[in-house]
Amino acid sequence: MVDLVAAASRSGRMRVTSDAAEAVLASEISLICVGTPSAPNGSQDLSAILRLAADLGRAMRGKSGGHVFVFRSTIAPGTVEEVIRPVVERESGKRDGEHFHLCFQPEFLREGTSIRDYDKPPFTIVGANHQAAVDKLRQLFGHLPCAFHTTSVKSAEMVKLCCNNFHALKITFANETARLCDAFGVDPFEVMGLICKDTQLNISSAYLKPGYAFGGSCLPKDLRATLYLAKQRDQELPMMAGILPSNRLHVERAVERVLATKKRSVGLIGLSFKTGTDDLRESPTVALAEQLIGKGLSLSVFDPEVHLSKLLGANKKFIEQHLPHIDTLIRARIDEVAAASEVLIVSLNDKAVFARLREVVRPDHVVIDLARIPESSAWPCRVEGLCW
Ligand SMILES: NC(=O)c1ccc[n+]([C@@H]2O[C@H](COP(=O)([O-])OP(=O)(O)OC[C@H]3O[C@@H](n4cnc5c(N)ncnc54)[C@H](O)[C@@H]3O)[C@@H](O)[C@H]2O)c1
């Protein structure tokens, strides 16, 4: 870095100043990367960035042309638009989007390999509200050998936090796995090496789409087995131990969504843990049904794969334990469920089901969409996602 900065400085292409006004007046773009350390309560200490925002605003007061301010420090979603913008507008007497543009472009370089990472980042993400600002940043960063994505300012802020959280999660997963391996005399490098060789399900975008809770006959059971194994060998795996409780919170969120509608009759479109199967074991939709029945709501269910007479073994036993009156809830046709319900919870991910449902919904229906129904905004009734 020192050599690079010295060379740039000698070439005359770079000047250094401690005067924000001088920097703003002599340039078109400001890249702002001051520190955002943790405050004692875990929040971000924004004092440096806010002091600087005031300086930049005062500098803008005396500038006749436009300017693009690009925040690159890692900051929480909403910081640029809700915290920084009012300061810059107040100090400049000018408006974001008119006289200047406030953008957020996360920085993906890592300490120790910063120059290499700068030259070859995973991607460029620009959060901006105006094309003019995006165009300026494309001129500056478009040559980098990576994709250039544009998004909202808030999403760009969130992406950076999520990237760091994901990296921390990956490290912790590898380390918890290593502790478990070690306790059983298994080579953790061999195990993690093999895990990383699966680029179909493991190192891929599989399982990384927001949706409803997971369930089924494998994931919950095997997580419980893992935690039991760890306990046997006095190993604590707090991250893995947190997975099932977090998954249950997602079911509770769906329950709260239904209760918030204040309606009393609910239709479930889908009951099995996964579309295209009749496997009801640990289905999060069965858990949802149990809780709604417990709250005194009336329920009806449509699932084209679930035929009670054909359920066998552990699958049959599970549903008999959890929804003993399932035979009185199941309907053969989707329109019967729609007619009997004020709220419809859609967990089946099936285009034909979406199309049929759209035909039978009434304007007074509330649809709770756990399956990400495409183009649901055009439906003739209220469609709510769980988190979207
Ligand atoms: N370190 C990394 O690898 C990395 C990677 C991506 C993002 N980030 C983010 O970038 C930001 C900066 O991180 P860092 O590690 O470089 O922090 P740092 O504390 O090492 O550096 C911050 C710099 O900002 C300067 N500064 C403070 N107030 C200023 C002001 N008013 N005017 C001009 N300069 C001022 C400080 O003197 C310091 O040199 C943080 O938000 C961090 O989360 C860091």
Tens-place pLDDT, residues 279-288: 999 999 999 9
| Atom of ligand 1 minimally distant from the CA of 34 | 24
**C-alpha 104: how far from its chain's center?**
18
Distance 34 CA to ligand 1 centre (A): 4
Task: Tell how far the Cα of 384 is from the centroid of ligand 1, in angstroms.
Answer: 40
- Residue 218 annotated as catalytic: yes
Q: What is the reported pLDDT for 29? A: 97
pLDDT band for position 290 (cuts 50, 70, 90): very high
Asked whether the whole model's pTM tops 0.85, one would answer yes
What are 228-273's pLDDT values in tens digits? 999 999 999 999 999 999 999 999 999 999 999 999 999 999 999 9
In the structure, what pLDDT confidence band is assigned to residue 165 with cuts at 50, 70 and 90? very high
Q: pLDDT tens-digit profile of 115-141?
A: 999 999 999 999 999 999 999 999 999
Instruction: Using CB atoms within 10 Å of the CB of residue 332, give its burial: 0 to 12 exposed, 13 to 18 middle, 19+ buried.
Output: exposed
Digit-coded pLDDT (tens) for 150-159 = 999 999 999 9
- Taken in order 362, 368, 372, 375, the sign of the CA dihedral is positive
pLDDT for res 382:
96
Q: Sorting pLDDT into bands at 50, 70 and 90, what band is 50?
A: very high
Structure confidence at residue 325 (pLDDT): 87
Instruction: State if residue 48 touches ligand 1 by the CB under 6 angstroms criterion.
Output: yes
Distance CA 180, CA 202 (A): 19
* pLDDT for position 71: 98
Query: Which band of pLDDT confidence, cut at 50, 70 and 90, is reported for residue 308?
Result: confident
User: What is the pLDDT, as a whole number, of residue 86?
Assistant: 98
Of these residues, 181, 218, 381, 387, which one is catalytic?
A: 218
Q: pLDDT grade, residue 161 (50/70/90)?
A: very high
Query: Average pLDDT in the 185-213 region?
Result: 97
pLDDT value at residue 231: 97
| Centroid of ligand 1 to alpha carbon of 68 (angstroms) | 19
Through-space distance between the first and last CA atoms of the chain, rounded to whole angstroms: 42
Q: Cβ of 378: how many Cβ atoms within 10 Å?
A: 8
At 2 the pLDDT is 92
Q: Is residue 109 within 6 Å of ligand 1 at its C-beta?
A: yes
Per-residue pLDDT at 357: 96
Tell me how far the alpha carbon of residue 383 is from its chain's centroid. Answer: 20
pLDDT in tens, 331-357: 999 999 999 999 999 999 999 999 999
Nearest CA to ligand 1 atom 21: 35
Give the separation between CA 37 and CA 30, rounded to whole angstroms: 21
